[in-house]
Structure 1
Amino acid sequence: MHDRTDLLPEENAVRDERLIRELLQNWVVWRDAGDWERFRTVWHKDGRMMATWTQGTGDEFIAISKEGWVKGVSILHFLGGIAVDLAGERAISQTKMTISQRAEVEGVLADVLCTGRFYDFLEKREGKWGIVLRQPIYEKDRMDPVTPGAVPQLDRALLEQFPAGYRHLAYLQTRIGYTVKKDMPGLKGPEVEALYARGAAWLRGAAA
């Protein structure tokens, strides 16, 4: 959808923020529904996804997500509040979210619920907003058995290899065969401070 030329700057900003919010909501609905072709439209061609279990372009993320679906990998998302910082044809958005993943862990079917934020670098190109970089921030997580009373016996040494914000999520993903990135940003610390600095630089015109 292209810009209207009859809108005032303030009206264009309101419209841009609405379009960004719609894009962020569509990301979750289309990704979790496996609506891959519409999901592809939220990314720019060079857009990148940084997740605990995979890092690559939007197209690569779609390919590995489709493979996971075939294998029975179950990952769902839920969104909360959205904040958008606009700077012309660039934006940074932060979206409160939860990631829910279900898998068998040490012989026990379990759910991991991770709370955090999607931190997105967005750009409007030829009148269309798209994601250039999506970097989740992992704030806290927990693991619960699906069947009450069943208790998976976790390998404490493996569990403690991962940052506290996504420790149980990383454990589950490791156990089902993924190599998990161990330096993702959390609620506090140098990784998230560096991410905020990159976001501010992006709004000033730097590379993502």
Structure 2
Amino acid sequence: MTGDRGDRLTIRELVEGWALWRDALDWDRFRTVWHEDGRMMATWWQGPYEEFIRVSVEGFERGVRILHFLGGGTVDVEGDRAIAQTKMTINQRAEVEGVLSDVLCTGRFYDFFERRGGRWGLVLRQPIYEKDRLDPVMPGTAPVLDPAVLERFPEGYRHLAYLQHGIGYPVKTDMPGIIGPEVERLYADGAAWLRGEPLAR
């Protein structure tokens, strides 16, 4: 397979590898998805991918449980640059106000890829958070949420943020949602990336 179709397939395989290897704690294979300067953005942490691995390992050892599931996606390729968008869900389990709960957040991974030395790799992953929900694990139980805390966070990930804030993470409050200036800036950054311009972030 040659040309853009082969490039799109390679990038899709990297996107799928990210989710599988991250959730399986297979960090050596997870590293193969990235370029050396790759950066990860998440509600609870932002920075170089090697540091993301470190904080993910530390969190897992403390009992943090976050899983990912992928849906359909698109890949736009322009020469040695690409933008991939992939439907996804983030599932995190933790105690919320003393009640064991699952939060399910639906959105998209918005990924900046580049081919360097013949190898595609991830340069920046910026999730887009579209909507979320919180469910108690045990039927008949329900956490009582503090509305003042809940309303501090954007609608697209406010329950996820509430959970993460409750277990001690400093949650970023201006991540892109389904609409708004944050996602419009992200789309503009993606278009500039495909034109060959440097990352604006």
Q: Tell me which interval the TM-score lies in, with the shorter structure as reference length.
A: over 0.9
The aligned counterpart of 1:3 is: none
Query: How is 1:26-105 mapped onto 2 (pairs within 5 angstroms)?
Result: 26-105=17-96
SS at match of 2:54: helix
- Residue 33 of structure 1: how far off its partner (Å): 0.2
The aligned counterpart of 2:130 is: 139
- Residue 12 of structure 1: how far off its partner (Å): 1.9
Count residues in correspondence.
Answer: 199
The aligned counterpart of 2:112 is: 121
Q: For 2:51 and 2:3, how far apart are their aligned partners in 1?
A: 33
Query: Please, what TM-score do these two structures have when normalized by structure 1?
Result: 0.95
Note if 1:195 corresponds to 2:186. Answer: yes
RMSD value, Cα: 0.7
Deviations 1:157-185 (A, max 9, x none): 00000000000000000000100000000
Note if 1:179 corresponds to 2:179. Answer: no
* Residue ranges of structure 2 left out of the alignment (5+ in a row): none
Q: For 1:119 and 1:173, how far apart are their aligned partners in 2?
A: 22
Q: For 2:109 and 2:198, how far apart are their aligned partners in 1?
A: 19
Q: For 2:63 and 2:198, how far apart are their aligned partners in 1?
A: 36
- Residue 119 of structure 1: how far off its partner (Å): 0.1
- Residue 14 of structure 1: how far off its partner (Å): 1.2
SS at match of 2:175: coil
- Residue 207 of structure 1: how far off its partner (Å): 1.3
Q: For 1:118 and 1:206, how far apart are their aligned partners in 2?
A: 21
- Residue 144 of structure 1: how far off its partner (Å): 0.2
After the TM superposition, which parts of structure 1 deviate over 4 Å for at least 4 consecutive aligned residues? none
Query: Please, what TM-score do these two structures have when normalized by structure 2?
Result: 0.98
Structure whose CA Rg is larger:
1
Q: For 1:207 and 1:109, how far apart are their aligned partners in 2?
A: 44
